[in-house]
Structure 1
Amino acid sequence: MDSIIAVAAALLYAVAIATIVPGLAQQTGIKIRIVLVAATAALICHAWLLSDLIFNDSGQNLSILNVASLISFIISLVLSAAMLKQRLWFLLPVAYCFAAINLTAANHLPSTFLHHLENDPKLLIHISLALFSYATLTIGTLYALQLAWLDNRLKSKKSLAINPNMPPLMLIERHLFKIILVGNLLLTATLLTGFIFVHDMFAQGKGHKAILSFMAWVVYSVLLWGHYQQGWRGKKVTWFAIVGATLLTLAYFGSRFVREIILS
C-alpha cells in the first residue's frame, strides 16, 4: 500500500509541475485549479505516507530519508498555501520535484533511526524548531534564487515582455527578507533549546551539528544586518543565502548521510 501511495503522490506532483512549467516558458495563463487540486491530493498522499514511515510501535523513525521527506512536505505545504495569494510559480516546480524525489527515496530505501519523543517532550520541541527553521530558511533560499534569476533576465534584457505569472521583483525581495528573518529567529530558538535541552550536544559525532548550525546563524545574521543597515541587495544576498542553507544542510544531514546511506 505504501508503494502505491508513493507512486500516486509522485504522479500528482508531476501533474502539478506539468501544468505550471508551460505557463512559465510560454508566458501563458496557468490553470490554477488543476495545480491546486493536484498539489492538494499529492500533499494528502505524502502526509499519509509519512505517517506510515515515521510512526510505528517501536517509536518514531527519524531516519535521514524520512526527515528529508518531512522537510520537503513542509516546504511544499507552505508554498502551496501561499500560492493562493502570491505568484510562486517559479518556486513550486522545484519544491514539488524535491518532494516527489524525497518521498520515493524514503519509501524504497528504508533506513532506521528510532526515537521515543513521547518520553522526551523537550527534545520534541528542539527537533520541531529545527525542522521548521530549516524548512523556512530553505524557502528563503528558493526566493533568493528566484530573485537572482529575475534580476539577471532584466539586466540582460533577454525578455522584454513581462511574464504575468511572475511576481514583481521588489515584492520578492520584501518577502525574501521577511522569510529569512523568521527562519533566523527559529534557528536562534533551535540553538537555544539545543544548549538547554540536549545534554550531549557536543558529544563525539554530534558537535559538528552545533558548530555548523551556529555558523549558519552567523551567516544569516550578517545577511540581515547587511540588508537592513547597509542596503545589501543582488548577488551578495543570493550567495549569503546559499552559504547559509549549505551549512545547515551539512549540519542536519552530513554525517547521517554517510552513516545511514553510504556505509549501510
Structure 2
Amino acid sequence: MAFYLLAAFACVHNLLNPQNKGRSYGLLAALCALLLHGLWLFNTVVQVPGQNLSMLNVASVVSLIISALMTVLVTRFKVWLLMPLVYGFAGLLLAADVLLPGYYSMHLESRPEVLLHIGLGLMSYSLLVMASLLAILLGFLNHRLKTHKLTNLPAMPPLMTIERYLFRLIFVGVVVLTLSISTGLFFLQEMFSPGKAHKAILTILAWCVYVGLLWGHHRLGWRGRKVIWTSVAGSILLTLAYFGSRFVREVLLG
C-alpha cells in the first residue's frame, strides 16, 4: 500500500513538473507495489486445498492486472494523467481487502475448465475497464481542447493515438470476453441456473454493447461522445455482472 501511495504521489509530482527527469522513480515504486501485491494475493487466494475467491480478493486481482497493464502502457505512450487514479484505486482495494477479509472457497484445481473461464473473464474485464479509462481521458481532453485549455495540461499523446489504443483494447477485450462466454457455455452447466442467470445475461448484454460499438466505429464512423458513453455503459454492465450480486451477498448481507 505504501508503494502504491508513493507511485501515485510520484505520478502527481511528474504531472505538476513536466520537466522532471525522475519518472523512473515512480515506475520503480509501482513495480515494487505490483510485486508485493502479487505475492500478498498469492498467499491470500491460494490455499491448500482450494482458493479463497471472495469479492474483495477478486477485485484486488483485477486491480493488480489493470495496474500492471497500465504500467506497461504508460511506458509506451504518456497517459500519466490516469496513473494516480489507477495506483490510488489499487491501493484502496488492497487496504479494503486487508481490513475486511472475506471467504469464498472454491476448488479450481479439480476443475481447470472453470479456472480457464474465470481467468478469461477477469482478463477481459480488466482490458475493457482500461478501455473505459482511456475513453474518459479522451473525452476529458476533447473537452479541454474545445475550451482552449489543453495547453495547461502536461504533455499527452495525440488524441488520435489515444483513440487508436482505445479501440485496440476494446477489440482485444471483446475477443477475450467472447472466449470467456464460450467456455462458460461449453463447460458450465449451471451458467443459466437460478441465482446465476443474471450474470450470464448481463455479460452477454455487455458483449453486445461492445460489438455494437466496434461495428458503429468501423461502419458508421462513431467517435466522440457515442464511443465514450457506450464504452462506459459496457464496463458498468460487466461490473454488475461480476460483482453486483456478490456485493449484496458478501457486503450488504454479510
What's the TM-score, normalizing by structure 2? Answer: 0.96
Residue aligning to 1:62: 53
Q: Deviation at 1:88?
A: 2.1
1:206 maps to a residue whose letter is K
Structure 1 runs of 4+ with >6 Å offset: none
Select which of 208, 228, 231 maps to 2:218: 228
Q: Tell me how far apart the structure 1 counterparts of residues 138 and 74 of structure 2 sit (CA, whole Å).
A: 17
Contact kept, 8 Å, 2:55 with 2:246, in 1: the verdict is yes
* 1:95-134 deviations in Å (ceiling 9; x for gaps): 1111101111111111111111110011011001001000
Q: Deviation at 1:213?
A: 0.2
Q: Tell me how far apart the structure 2 counterparts of residues 147 and 155 of structure 1 sit (CA, whole Å).
A: 12
Residue aligning to 2:186: 196
Residue aligning to 1:5: none
Query: Does residue 167 of structure 1 match 2:168?
Result: no
Q: How do 1:170-249 and structure 2 match up within 5 A?
A: 170-249=160-239
Residue aligning to 2:79: 88
2:195 maps to a residue whose letter is G
Q: Tell me how far apart the structure 2 counterparts of residues 21 and 161 of structure 1 sit (CA, whole Å).
A: 15
Contact kept, 8 Å, 1:53 with 1:107, in 2: the verdict is no
- Quickly say closer, same or farther: Cα 1:63–1:124, change in 2 above 3 A: same
Residue aligning to 1:132: 123
Contact kept, 8 Å, 1:137 with 1:180, in 2: the verdict is yes
Q: Deviation at 1:82?
A: 2.2
1:234 maps to a residue whose letter is G
Query: Does residue 31 of structure 1 match 2:59?
Result: no
Q: Tell me how far apart the structure 2 counterparts of residues 146 and 218 of structure 1 sit (CA, whole Å).
A: 23
Aligned residues: 254
Unaligned runs of 5+ in 2: none
2:190 maps to a residue whose letter is D
Residue aligning to 1:262: 252
Aligned-pair identity in percent equals 45
Q: Deviation at 1:262?
A: 1.1
Between 127-136 and 30-39, report the one with greater CA deviation: 30-39
Q: Tell me how far apart the structure 2 counterparts of residues 230 and 74 of structure 1 sit (CA, whole Å).
A: 33
CA RMSD of aligned residues (A): 1.3
Unaligned runs of 5+ in 1: 1-9
Q: Deviation at 1:161?
A: 5.2
Q: Tell me how far apart the structure 2 counterparts of residues 72 and 18 of structure 1 sit (CA, whole Å).
A: 18
Q: Tell me how far apart the structure 1 counterparts of residues 37 and 131 of structure 2 sit (CA, whole Å).
A: 23
Q: Tell me how far apart the structure 1 counterparts of residues 106 and 228 of structure 2 sit (CA, whole Å).
A: 36
SS at match of 2:56: helix
Q: Tell me how far apart the structure 2 counterparts of residues 180 and 159 of structure 1 sit (CA, whole Å).
A: 26
Between 127-136 and 154-163, report the one with greater CA deviation: 154-163
SS at match of 1:237: helix
